[in-house]
Amino acid sequence: MGNATFSVSDENWNDLRQLLPDGWQEQAWKKKAFIRKSEKFPTEESLLRTLLIYITDNSFRKTAAICQAADITSVSDAALIKRLKNSSEWMRWMANEIIHRAEDQQQKGSRKFILADATHVKELGANGVVWRIHFSFDLNTMRCTGHHVSDNKTAESFANFIIEPGSVHVGDIAYARHSSISHVIQNHGDVLVRISPSQIKLFDERSDKINILKKFSDMASGEFAECRAHIKIDDMCVPVRLAAYRKTVKEAEKARKRVRRKSQKSQNKIRPETLLAAEYVFVITTIDRDMTTEMVLQYYRARWQIELYIKRLKSLISFKQLRNRNEKNVRAWLQGKMLVAVLAQTLMDMADHFFSCSTKRTKEKLAMEKI
């Protein structure tokens, strides 16, 4: 996949404009991205086209030159910087509206399994600030259902997303914290998260703390098992299923090698319990027994789908490294990248409808020709 480069042709822009959410011009005023009409930006359309040209990896100066040559607008790079700073919320609103519109068009009834993950984007330079983009991803539709741009101080958590009642939220160890789990439960959702043996306290029916490694020490390689437990969150006692999988001999040896490499890199001594824990996968879920132990672990393994999505997205819209250090500019640039991403996904869905036999790469090429 090549990087997205926004097309300045009127034909492609007219096609792309049809994908924007209703009321996008009015929101430009409400979100204070467009505060007055001027010779530089006579319409909301001229502003958005200019921003998209910049966001698809052009410098401020080159963007100004492209817009002038295409008779879109005549604007200095300084004026463009000012407009970009004020456009973050407008672009975030448009991206979210397009996502919600796609969700409304999906078939209702099936239980949603929402995967969560995040990626880092770093500013240029040794001391560049690290930003984080949090994603949620529907395993049924294979679509992004939400994103959240934050600095590196905002932890990975289900609390970064809106929880739909009845949905199941799947995450790795980073999401297995009390505040993260509590956010899902309080909004009537379910969780399915991986844990480490020492990360979260689990209790049995007598409220005795469970020693997870001891509990499953008799498992054979390649075997699945589970037990009932509960966790204490604030004033709540939350019943969970603790599902376990003991890796095969080959899988366990690979996992132990990873632990040793990490230990050598950080120069920390490895505890025997850490090497033993590497032989297992432990997952807790609030889903009741309408799902087998093996299915619980299979849904956790499906997390790689969101990892592939993020990797593909980075290649498609190229946000591996930030070029700007101004906080407002960076936030707006990242929100603009996400707007480009959801527009590209919408165009790929259209290509899928009209060219169902095409490969994914062909659909991506058809989509990016419009952007």
> Is the model's pLDDT at 21 over the cut of 70?
yes
User: Is residue 279 within 8 Å of residue 184, measured between CB atoms?
Assistant: no
Longest distance between any two alpha carbons in the chain, whole Å: 76
What is the torsional sign of CA 132, 136, 142, 145?
negative
Please give the structure tokens belonging to residue 255. Answer: 């996992």
Q: How much is the pLDDT for 7? A: 60
The string of pLDDT tens digits covering residues 89-117 is 999 999 999 998 877 766 566 789 999 99
The string of pLDDT tens digits covering residues 155-191 is 999 999 999 999 999 999 999 999 999 999 999 999 9
Mean pLDDT of 315-325: 72
User: Is residue 371 within 8 Å of residue 340, measured between CB atoms?
Assistant: yes
> Is the model's pLDDT at 225 over the cut of 90?
yes
What end-to-end distance do the CA atoms of the chain give, in Å?
13
Closest CA to 198 of 221, 173, 229: 173
The string of pLDDT tens digits covering residues 265-313 is 888 888 899 999 999 999 999 998 778 999 999 999 999 999 999 998 8
Spatial CB neighbours of 71, under 8 Å, sequence gap ≥ 6: none
> Is the model's pLDDT at 353 over the cut of 70?
no
Q: How much is the pLDDT for 95? A: 94
